[in-house]
């Protein structure tokens, strides 16, 4: 009694220790999962924001490029047009080397001269503007940085800040090249327009009719004295062959231009703003390629709320529930769970092995047939092999599905009273054909008296069982002497026994003990033995018992003999 109590306390103590360890591990896992999920959500939020930022920069650069290209096509003094003047342009001007200044708004001339610090106010603007002429933006010719990390998963890349910086730099280079390409096209169109119309240019262009445009440059944005300008070089050729340099520019209203660009991304970043870049950029790739402006997203997104989203806490809740249930019944369930896990692993492994061979055959033969590598007289053999492999796969799938229905309890037997001969006759041809593939013949005499017995049976289930037995005989009795498989009937009390007997090597005593176990074949066993996953006989016995009968392995001197017992109908 004391020994039993001591053993009981020992078991309870072991369970308590295991429970404490399990609950502690679950608590640690839960805490780590919460922390990891918060970090993942925050990293994902940052990654999504970075992608939206890149999308916003593309939108703004596209709009800005179209705006610059349109501005580059306009003369300094536009002819009368129904189009409203651009609100973002304060003054269009052209400062020429000979001291001439052409502008479209005379009232802005003095502020422009003051801004450029020209003394006196009406002094020549060309030297002053030349001194302030900006360099070409580096993004227009920057090398494309690599954002590839082939050894990391895409999800990990998106959450990597270093990757996002590289991606931003790459996108800046891409946008810069697109901007420059678009402006090159605009420059060529401007040169063609002046060349074709140089003799008929409107007087408002302030270009002598006999001048030719020798060269033009790309419009370049720059901050000068806190104001935004768009400047480009021009070179005119006079009739005497002399060249006259000039700088054509637009004095922009930066505030209105920024507002115009921000309207392009109002749906993505309603509180975004643009920061003016007056010096070297920090290289983070957050600047526009078209104008010296840097993007700022405005109000940062709210951090993810504490806790886990529904898909994340559901597994945790299930894990806690499973842990509590496992602690309550550990000594009853652990062994069974381990065995079940082993069986499932063996089944998956065996099924994988079984599927590999026919799938490889399908791929190889279909490629050979498609390429025309098979001679016409051999195609029939190839098609027969493909059909045989397809039937093998179909039989495997039928067994798995039938076993699954039985396991779920959704299988329903539909029994009827029928003569045994009438039950088996429609199946004989299919069974014989399966044996013929293995070089065996089916021997049966349906005229024997026992075959006239009336049985209660599910016709589909009986056919499934008999085909599994015949299929096993075809696998394991191929090459037997004599090459025959017998299907016989014999009365046994209130049952009719259908015997499937072959002359093969038989079944070893060790294998006899587990031949009716489900999933008893591993991948190694499947590879070393005949094809199969160790499911057919287990399924057949369950089908037989579901119909009120049974399936047994009968002792025999040679080969194997399986007995399917069907209940006989009451007289």
CA separation for the pair 515, 535 (Å, rounded): 9
In 372-419, which residue ranges form alpha helices assigned H by DSSP?
379-408
User: Could you report the per-residue pLDDT of 359-405, keeping only the tens digit for each?
Assistant: 777 788 787 877 877 777 777 877 877 777 777 677 677 767 766 77
pLDDT (0 to 100) of residue 8: 47
More confident residue, 492 or 237: 492
Beta bridge partners of 418: 455
CA separation for the pair 432, 560 (Å, rounded): 18
pLDDT (0 to 100) of residue 24: 82
pLDDT (0 to 100) of residue 333: 55
All residues at 6 or more sequence positions from 526 whose CB lies less than 8 Å from its CB, including other chains = 349, 350, 353, 354, 532, 533, 534
Tokens coding 191: 């040169």
Quote the pTM value: 0.49
Element containing residue 92 per DSSP (H, E): strand 89-96
Q: Is a pLDDT exceeding 80 seen at residue 78?
A: no
> Where do the domains of the chain lie, and which CATH numbers do they carry?
37-296 (no CATH), 355-567 (3.30.565.10)
Tracing tokens 């003016």 back to the chain, one arrives at 276
Q: Are 53 and 286 in contact, with CB atoms under 8 Å apart?
A: yes
CA quadruple 434, 435, 438, 439: dihedral, nearest 10: -140
When mean pLDDT is compared across 311-315, 408-412, 494-498, the lowest value belongs to 408-412
Q: Decide the pairing of beta strands 441-443 and 484-492.
A: parallel
User: Could you report the per-residue pLDDT of 86-137, keeping only the tens digit for each?
Assistant: 889 988 888 888 877 887 877 777 888 888 777 655 567 788 888 878 777 7
Q: Is a pLDDT exceeding 50 seen at residue 1?
A: no
Helices and strands in the chain, H and E counts? 14, 15
- State the pLDDT confidence band at 282, using cuts at 50, 70 and 90: low
Q: List the one residue out of 547, 412, 421, 561 whose CA is nearest residue 477.
A: 561
What's the 3-state SS for 231-285? EEEEEEECCCCCEEEEEEEEEECHHHHHHHHHHHHCCCCCCCEEEECCCCCCCCC
CA separation for the pair 359, 386 (Å, rounded): 10
Reported for 238-246, long-range contacts at CB under 8 A and 24+ positions apart, including other chains, are 238/208, 238/210, 238/211, 239/210, 239/211, 243/214, 244/96, 244/97, 244/98, 244/211, 245/96, 245/97, 245/126, 246/94, 246/95, 246/96, 246/97, 246/126
More confident residue, 97 or 488: 488
User: Could you report the per-residue pLDDT of 206-255, keeping only the tens digit for each?
Assistant: 555 566 777 788 888 988 888 899 998 888 887 787 888 888 888 899 99
Residues 422-442: b if buried by 16+ CB within 10 A, e if exposed? ebbeebeeebbebbeebebeb
* Distance, C-alpha 160 to centroid of its chain: 19
DSSP string across 479-504: T-SS-EEEEEEEEETTEEEEEEEE-S
Beta bridge partners of 562: 500, 553
Percent of the chain with pLDDT over 90: 17
């Amino acid at each position: 009694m004391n020994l039993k109590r001591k053993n009981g306390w020992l078991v309870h103590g072991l369970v308590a220790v295991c429970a404490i360890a399990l609950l502690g591990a679950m608590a640690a896992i839960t805490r780590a999962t919460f922390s990891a999920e918060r970090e993942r959500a925050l990293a994902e939020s940052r990654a999504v924001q970075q992608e939206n930022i890149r999308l916003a920069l593309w939108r703004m650069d596209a709009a800005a490029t179209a705006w610059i290209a349109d501005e580059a096509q306009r003369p300094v003094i536009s002819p009368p047009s129904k189009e409203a003047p651009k609100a973002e342009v304060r003054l269009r001007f052209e400062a020429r080397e000979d001291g001439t200044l052409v502008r479209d708004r005379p009232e802005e001339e003095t502020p422009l001269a003051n801004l450029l610090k020209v003394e006196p106010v009406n002094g020549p603007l060309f030297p002053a503007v030349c001194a302030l002429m900006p360099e070409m933006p580096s993004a227009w010719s920057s090398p494309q940085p690599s954002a590839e990390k082939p050894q990391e998963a895409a999800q990990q890349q998106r959450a990597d800040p270093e990757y996002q910086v590289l991606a931003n730099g790459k996108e800046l280079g891409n946008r810069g090249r697109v901007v420059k390409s678009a402006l090159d096209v605009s420059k060529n169109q401007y040169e063609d327009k002046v060349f074709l119309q140089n003799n008929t240019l409107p007087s408002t262009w302030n270009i002598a009719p006999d001048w030719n445009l020798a060269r033009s440059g790309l419009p370049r944005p720059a901050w000068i004295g806190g104001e935004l300008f768009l400047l480009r070089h021009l070179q005119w050729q006079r009739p005497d062959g002399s060249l006259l340099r000039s700088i054509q520019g637009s004095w922009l209203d930066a505030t209105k231009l920024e507002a115009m660009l921000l309207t392009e991304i109002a749906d993505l970043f309603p509180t975004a703003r643009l920061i003016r870049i007056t010096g070297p950029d920090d290289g983070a790739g957050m600047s526009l390629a078209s104008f010296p402006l840097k993007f700022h997203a405005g109000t940062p997104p709210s951090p993810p709320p504490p806790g886990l989203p529904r898909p994340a806490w559901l597994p945790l809740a299930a894990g806690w529930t499973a842990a509590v249930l496992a602690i309550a019944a550990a000594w009853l369930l652990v062994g069974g769970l381990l065995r079940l896990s082993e069986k499932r692993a063996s089944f998956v492994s065996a099924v994988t092995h079984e599927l590999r061979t026919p799938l490889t055959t399908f791929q190889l033969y279909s490629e050979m047939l498609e390429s025309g590598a098979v001679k016409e007289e051999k195609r029939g053999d190839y098609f027969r092999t493909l059909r045989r492999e397809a039937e093998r796969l179909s039989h495997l799938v039928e067994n798995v599905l039938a076993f699954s229905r039985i396991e779920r309890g959704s299988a329903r037997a539909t029994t009827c009273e029928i003569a045994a001969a009438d039950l088996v006759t429609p199946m004989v041809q299919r069974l014989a054909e399966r044996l013929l593939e293995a070089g065996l013949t089916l021997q049966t005499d349906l005229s024997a008296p026992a075959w006239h017995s009336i049985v209660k049976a599910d016709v589909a289930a009986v056919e499934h069982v008999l085909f599994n037995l015949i299929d096993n005989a075809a696998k394991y009795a191929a090459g037997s002497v004599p090459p025959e498989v017998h299907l016989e009937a014999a009365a046994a009390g209130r049952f009719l026994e259908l015997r499937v007997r072959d002359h093969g090597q038989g079944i070893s005593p060790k294998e006899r003990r587990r031949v009716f176990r489900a999933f008893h074949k591993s991948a190694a066993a499947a590879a070393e033995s005949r094809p199969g996953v160790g499911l057919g006989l287990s399924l057949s016995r369950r089908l037989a018992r579901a119909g009120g009968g049974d399936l047994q392995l009968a002792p025999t001197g040679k080969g194997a003999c399986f007995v399917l017992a069907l209940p006989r109908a009451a007289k």
